[in-house]
Structure 1
Amino acid sequence: MKDYLVKALAYDGFVRAYAVSATETVAEAQRRHQTWHTASAALGRSMVGGLLLGSTLKGDDKLTVKIQGNGPAGAIIVDSNGHGDVKGYIKNPQISLPLNAAGKIDVRGAVGDQGIFTVIKDLGLKEPFSGQTPIVSGELGEDFTYYLAVSEQVPSAVGLSVLVETDDTIRAAGGFMLQIMPGASEEIIAAIEARLKELPRVSTLIDEGQTPEEILATLMPDAGVEILDTMPVQFHCDCNKDKFATAIITLGAKEIQAMIDEDHGAEAVCSFCGNKYHFDENELAELKKEAIA
């Protein structure tokens, strides 16, 4: 099944609902970063959350999620946009912790239970919008939920789930986001809360073959779910050699000359996708001229 996301309304428009199947998207990140078991789940959940937030944007608008916890995984950075593109990296990809007390992957142990959760939205305006909340869980679903409630004042429920094989590869990944609109009754909220307590993990539903539409139907069986839109999602990195050339120019002529003298060239590696870009001495000499200019 190709990865895709659905947008929907439920309970006569009082609930906005999103669900995404992202197994291959997360698997691509796992392969590129060679993440180990716990890091695979942490990065995967972050990317699924980024896709869900990104789906609320228009077209070329984009956002960055930064999760800076006190755990051994280090910072996790995810970029996404309104087209279903996502990329991400985790500072320490080789993290594999024992299962937690509940027998689940210990994402909190990798991320940490203290730190900063930041979302930066580039909406094409002069200044990007930035919202910041403390990490309240480290399991990440709760952290996305808390961010939405506090920073964007939208009562929400976010579920993020990644099923990791014993060889660290991704078996299933996906998630959902429910947003409660003004005027929603206490009965609607109570029904959703009750259902969330008994819902299996989304990755389990995906592994069993459920589609995003079916996940929403499972989550809200009597809510009259109305699918508004479907959108393919994918791992996509927009890095290129020109962008790295611009970055090298900002280092200044002295630093570029040192690359020429000491290394006789330079190699830039993209943190998000691992692609490598080589610059020979002649190319660096041209970039040095631009830096001086």
Structure 2
Amino acid sequence: MKDELVKALALDGHVRIYIARTTDMVQEARDRFDMGPIATDALGRTLSVASIMGGMLKSDKEMLTISINGHGPIGSITVDAYSNGNVRGFVSDPHVDAPSVAQAVGTEGTLTVIKDLNMVENFTGTVELQSGQIGEDFTYYFTLSEQTPSAVSVGVSTDANGKVEAAGALVLQMMPDATDTDIRIVEHVVEGLKPMSTIIKEYGDTDMSQLARDLFEDAQVLETTDIHFSCPCSKERTKGILMTLSKDEIQQMIDDDAGCEVTCNFCNEHYQFTKDELEAILEEMNA
């Protein structure tokens, strides 16, 4: 069972369908940050919708960043998504203790999407959080900020040991030429949906394009893409970040610690730099 993103059309092209199975990527995020079940659920839901939103981008030069902060105990949720559906992300408190995702996230805040469309200025859309449940908040975002009536279903299921059993998301979007009949059909489909994590479990190893066909008889699958938790960080890129520090700061790392460790916030990868490597960076800066 591999993670995948499916894009399809239905009802004579009046409805766009996006389906993401994200079990492995959510498990990787859970493992990288040693997250508890509520943090895994909250971040997993956001990663799942973000993968779909990344897949909506037009060019591989584009990306987007999602930031959710409802001033709840989990703090902020930050996720980057790319046009191939790959994502990376983290939460402020990976070990948050709360009864539910909504109570962990809170509702006294906003959901913000910043799209880097490779233009002079980025597109930014911000909406007030509606429930902190993630799915409902993205439904509100699509409808208000992007003026695209949408239905969003998202879910993450973990077992007693914290292992991710199933994760995924479904987004249905009405096209501008959708009729009243199309809208009623979509509403009927949404009303009959099982929880998304249950759907992912039931389909098992089945290609998720089958779900599109099961939801709509005339569904036409446009594309199926493998998706992953993926971070473009590297030691070379981290070196570039170190070179933005002052020479005095680099020298202090050499004198005080004989090296340093840099951790990527987005994937928790650790990069070690020895005293000799820092001295080489300092020489490069002096040159």
TM-score w.r.t. length of structure 2 = 0.94
Contact 1:36 1:95 (8 Å CA) reproduced? yes
Partner SS state of residue 203, structure 2? coil
Which of 208, 212, 217 aligns to 1:216? It is 212
Distance (Å, rounded) in 1 between the aligned partners of 2:115 and 2:249: 32
> In structure 1, what is the equivalent of residue 162 of structure 2?
168
Contact 2:129 2:137 (8 Å CA) reproduced? yes
Partner SS state of residue 208, structure 1? helix
Q: Does 1:79 align with 2:80?
A: yes
> In structure 2, what is the equivalent of residue 102 of structure 1?
none
- CA deviation vs aligned residue, 1:139-181 (integer Å, no higher than 9, x gap): 0011111111122111111111111111111000011111111
Which of 132, 137, 145 aligns to 1:138? It is 132
Between 1:280-289 and 1:237-246, the stretch displaced more is 280-289
- CA deviation vs aligned residue, 1:217-272 (integer Å, no higher than 9, x gap): 34x344x1111111111111111012111111212112112111111111001122
> In structure 2, what is the equivalent of residue 47 of structure 1?
47
Q: How far has the Cα of 1:84 moved from its partner?
A: 2.2
Q: How far has the Cα of 1:290 moved from its partner?
A: 4.3
Distance (Å, rounded) in 1 between the aligned partners of 2:98 and 2:149: 32
5 Å matches for 1:1-293? 1-57=1-57, 58-98=59-99, 106-209=100-203, 211-218=207-214, 220-222=215-217, 224-291=218-285
Distance (Å, rounded) in 2 between the aligned partners of 1:63 and 1:109: 26
> Matched residue pairs, number?
284
Distance (Å, rounded) in 2 between the aligned partners of 1:282 and 1:183: 64
Contact 1:4 1:230 (8 Å CA) reproduced? yes
Partner SS state of residue 227, structure 1? strand
Distance (Å, rounded) in 2 between the aligned partners of 1:268 and 1:238: 15
Tell me which amino acid in the other structure corresponds to 2:63: K
Contact 1:66 1:77 (8 Å CA) reproduced? yes
Partner SS state of residue 239, structure 2? helix
Q: How far has the Cα of 1:195 moved from its partner?
A: 2.4
Structure 2 unmatched ranges of 5 or more: none
Tell me which amino acid in the other structure corresponds to 1:33: F
Partner SS state of residue 244, structure 1? helix
Distance (Å, rounded) in 2 between the aligned partners of 1:77 and 1:290: 33
Distance (Å, rounded) in 2 between the aligned partners of 1:12 and 1:234: 31
Q: How far has the Cα of 1:216 moved from its partner?
A: 2.3
> In structure 2, what is the equivalent of residue 103 of structure 1?
none
> In structure 2, what is the equivalent of residue 101 of structure 1?
none
Tell me which amino acid in the other structure corresponds to 2:82: N
CA RMSD of aligned residues (A): 1.6
Between 1:23-32 and 1:116-125, the stretch displaced more is 116-125
Contact 2:11 2:216 (8 Å CA) reproduced? no
Contact 2:135 2:154 (8 Å CA) reproduced? yes
Distance (Å, rounded) in 1 between the aligned partners of 2:245 and 2:142: 37
